[in-house]
Structure 1
Amino acid sequence: MTDAPKPEDLERHAQKMAKKKAAREKIMAGKTGEKGLIIVHTGKGKGKTTAAFGMIFRCIAHGMPCAVVQFIKGGMSTGERDLILSRFSDVCQFHTMGEGFTWETQDKARDMAMARAAWEKAKELIRDPEIRMVLLDEINIALRYDYLDIDEVLRFLREEKPPMTHVVLTGRNAKPELIEAADLVTEMELVKHPFRAGVKAQIGVEY
């Protein structure tokens, strides 16, 4: 059992927290701008799509129209997809445009055609000013393999994205040009993963 803190320790702590609070409030007072963000989730660690869907569900909770375009993943059942299609399709559009990862399809021409179709759908959704957030899931994979032209994607986001629309781009190996252009970039770092210990992808964790 630890001893109760002394009155002088409590007072020092209170003074320290008061200073931190004042400094924080001063910083926050200067942060008044709003804009549609380009958000990138990349890296070898798990959680890129998971975190992006967290933002999509925030939009849904606030009644903000949003949309998801999946570039690589096929039409397999996932928790996020099934929940959105069954409960929230009035707020969130969901388009699964891929047919699986490249090592599964083994058809580069078809993969490129599917990526192009997904990008055309993405542009249509992003252009709609009523849609506040568009998630481009695994688009970084399509860009990595040059199924899409990075310069074209960046030019579109720069010139045609409505000012208040957020666009989230996920997937490993984000292009340096995309990272440079983004407003918010998070790299998921792999520390440990059960797959390396022979544990397969599990419902509720991976999908």
Structure 2
Amino acid sequence: MTEVSDLEAKHASKMAKKKAARDKIMAGKSGEKGLIIVHTGPGKGKSSSGFGMILRCIAHEMPCAVVQFIKGAWDTGERRLIETHFSDLCQFHAMGEGFTWETQDRARDIAAAQAGWAKAKELILNPEIRFVLLDEINIALRYDYLDIAEVVRFLVEEKPPLTHVVLTGRNAKDELIEIADLVTEMTLVKHPFRSGIKGQKGVEF
């Protein structure tokens, strides 16, 4: 019994020290800022994380919006859920027509990306919207369907101070990473696709 009590006392003391250190750190954090957030890397979870944030916004009754740049042609679970149940809080704009190897038409891909970016700017500048997810915009930037300099300039100079913007997709440009407040790179360790398993409902879409 004494041994258990000693372990509990040591644990309590250790946690008390951690809490004191954490409280000290948090005491110096008081500002709020609209963040530029980038989810990139070869691993799964970039869009999923972005939509998780969208659901948080909805739960807080915080007006938000989604612009999908590539996967706009897909019938996804997140799109069904948002459009069916939460369209009053979250605008959903599916602007893409599929991956570039599906359309096989560069001019059409560029036109779709440009239309998506125009809608994105409109939503970001809307004072009623606090959070905007630009899903797979990094792919449009990677293929130069959009001008990275224009995207960076807009985010730095015109984005409202308290509006959050999340940009997802592989191969995020260095210029975007440089201006971002939060960058997460998803690392691929293992994926079922490599074992011959196709995308699953509820996991991939």
What TM-score comes out, normalization by structure 2 length?
Answer: 0.98
CA drift of 1:5 comes to: 4.5
1:121-142 deviations in Å (ceiling 9; x for gaps): 0000000111000000000000
Query: Quick one: distance in 1 between partners of 2:151 and 2:129?
Result: 18
The 5 A counterparts of 1:1-207 are: 5-207=3-205
Give the number of equivalent residue pairs. 205
Give unmatched runs, 5+ long, in structure 1: none
Q: Give the letter aligned to residue 158 of structure 1.
A: V
Q: How far apart, in 2, do the equivalents of 1:29 and 1:8 lie? A: 31
Shift of 1:165: 0.2
AA at the equivalent of 1:180:
E
User: Alpha-carbon deviation of 1:9?
Assistant: 2.3
Unaligned runs of 5+ in 2: none
Q: CA deviation at 1:106?
A: 0.5
CA–CA separation in structure 2 for the residues paired with 1:13 and 1:47: 35
Instruction: Give distance in 2, aligned partners of 1:12 and 1:98.
Output: 56
Q: Which amino acid aligns with 1:86?
A: T
| Code of the aligned partner of 1:206 | E
C-alpha RMSD over aligned residues: 1.1
Q: 1:11 and 1:87, CA in 2 relative to 1: closer, same or farther beyond 3 A? A: same
**Structure 1 residues 10 and 98: CA distance shift in structure 2, 3 A:** same
The CA deviation at 1:8 is 2.2
Q: Distance in 2 between matches of 1:158 and 1:74?
A: 26
Deviations 1:62-111 (A, max 9, x none): 11000000001132211100000000001000000010000100100110
Q: In structure 2, what is the Cα distance between the partners aligned to 1:115 and 1:195?
A: 27
What percentage of residue pairs aligned between the two structures are identical? 76
